[in-house]
Amino acid sequence: MQLAYQPCYCEENIWRLCADGVVDVARSTVLLITNRHRTSAVWCQRSGFAGQPVVWDYHVVCLEASEDGARTWDLDCSLPIPSPALAWFDAAIGPSADVPLRFQPHFRLVEASRWLAEFASDRRHMRDSTGEWLQPPPPWPTIGQGFNLDEFLDLDEPGPGPWRDRLELRRMLTELDSATTG
């Protein structure tokens, strides 16, 4: 399966995944991963070294409920795409006891339909002070008008979906998996 993908543009990759109909938008949730320090550790990333986490300022993946159970679409992951949600969580998020508090992620859950309708990026966050690209941009057009990613990532604002910590998210994934396969 060929997926639209550009390294370092996870938010756009997931928007495209939804817009291109790869996932069932009605049964999908976009997970924004970050924390107050913008230093979330995520393992099993293509850009990382084996056994070591990548520390992202934020990361975006898609959670899809299917008849076969919940699955996670993490296009930057070295695990199979998609992966069973609990397997992805345990491998990519890692055990909390091993992760210092500064690197513990929080997860904003946004309905995929809302992500499609509201997310906008003119890619300004990917340019340096002279206007040069920090990373090559995707070949597809920018999304929407302006830039609102920071609104989605702001832990202090009610925003477009609830925030969950790692334990709450794991519990939710376990329940979702049971509900879809039970």
Q: Which of 10, 18, 44, 62 is catalytic?
A: 10
Q: Which of 18, 59, 77, 177 is catalytic?
A: 59
Own/partner contacts of 24-28, CB < 8 Å, gap of 24 or more, are 24/64, 24/66, 25/112, 25/113, 25/116, 26/112, 26/113, 27/64, 27/65, 27/66, 28/62, 28/63, 28/64, 28/65, 28/111, 28/112
CA 78 to CA 63: how far, in whole Å? 17
Active site residue 59: yes
Q: Which of 18, 44, 62, 74 is catalytic?
A: 74
Active site residue 10: yes
Q: Which residues are catalytic?
A: 10, 59, 74
